[in-house]
Structure 1
């Protein structure tokens, strides 16, 4: 689903477009027709070759716990995490997220896909191919009763936390410099959540999860380990990034990492600023391929949820990413793997299609 000749479409591991709908900033019709703000709309997706991706349903914290991007542009920072969300609020907002996804589908913006064959076909279609993802499992109770209903609505990927603590696990703060070894591992409810995701074939996203939680998922999950939008801590020592030990665990599971375009997780100085050269992204690419191999790396942009390099700007600027990779020596076969084939392969292994 792209207008750029002979450029492989990009399937993206994470975006926050749905959050813009549930907070009333945009409508599905506006996303279809084109926006003058944000990172994603259908015309820009077609122009840039954004063929699809994981569309996150994320429940925002109340405004008094908001986080400013300016806070992440300092030489060092440690942003206090918001408190856990109350289940009724999270459930209501998550329902709104599923409704927003259906509105995007009805408007012809996305095609919600629940198996890889459909997903691969949709990559060449007029809409963006969409995998529905919940980022932070606050809408699920300790008995995990809600998960099967969400699966029936199309959910195929879930992150136990978005940094905020949940009844399942602890996330990492927005802290630089830091590593992710902060806090305890999965709770008993978290272990039940992993088991039920395995049973249903729902991908378990390690992004935002702390080191102890990642180790616990690795110990009990029978699925590939996947971090949909995370980078290499060896390049940028941020709590949100993955250590080499974690990358080796992901490689051993035949899993995958999607490179996050958020500049604060790309830059060695940890600063969230658009004035960030794509060379910094290529350093993460080289490091991840060096440990994970060519078949386990892709992209997870964090569009509509972060500041990305100004050379890309929004999804219409994705040709600049491909051009930087070509100039870096990435050949056409590896380009296709990085742009979408690796995602299709790990989803096939995870969903057991």
Structure 2
């Protein structure tokens, strides 16, 4: 069992990582007047024994709200439903929301906590590899709008994150790949040791493998978020591959899995970095080969014209011009005049993305 104690801004967060982590966590220390569990319906069903243990530990003063799995549930109507159930149940400011499921549930539950009674505490129990290595850490919460992904949200830190790695045993291959894509991202932008570990162990799926990449991913992400919680500059590096990836997800109406979209995003954005002179071609090839081995993104072709509107609405864009994170080598990112975001004209996007398409990666 690994514990990490983090202080981000004025908020303290305990992160527990390991098999049977829920069993070892004391919920009594939260001093809650009651608990509201926002649970992914599929996770609740497939992880019945873990969920049952959670319910037993939380006691009688408990509300369980089930929501559907997937990005289509990540909307303001779902948040309103949660808040209204809590209001009708007379939940006060000492109530604690607990998310149980993947990143979608975590985003919804965290956003609900950030606005109910102008903020109450919340705890993440992420049950997917993606949520454990990425979305449960850092305090980003939010929902989608028809116009794009994560356009409404807040930055609000959880009180605790409980990562029970035994939950990963039931995950399908695509869900594992979703998380590994984000772990590769951390390796490319700042942790070359993690990247090398993934290169050497790309096909491993044992408990020690998962524990290592989860711990290293959390440590790296926390090191960034502590320095730039509100995403004014440094934290933007965590968006490598995501400008393109989120646009691909939204344009496909979320039929393309997150991991595959982010893997594609890193391939295309990495190639832009090669063209603009910051990323060595050989490092781009190493990154691309690892993504292909783990995430198999090659059966999706990117068509820039269908993505332009999503680029314009991306939070990193300025005056409608998309900006991207460029690696400088494996384990490092490039800065331009002190900034980590690089503007790319539309004609260059069209031209270089077509070059990558023609490579038939």
TM-score with structure 2 length normalisation? 0.30
Structure with the greater relative contact order (CA < 8 A, sep ≥ 6): 1 or 2?
1
TM-score with structure 1 length normalisation? 0.30
Please state which structure has a larger fraction of its residues in strand.
Answer: 2
Larger Rg: 2
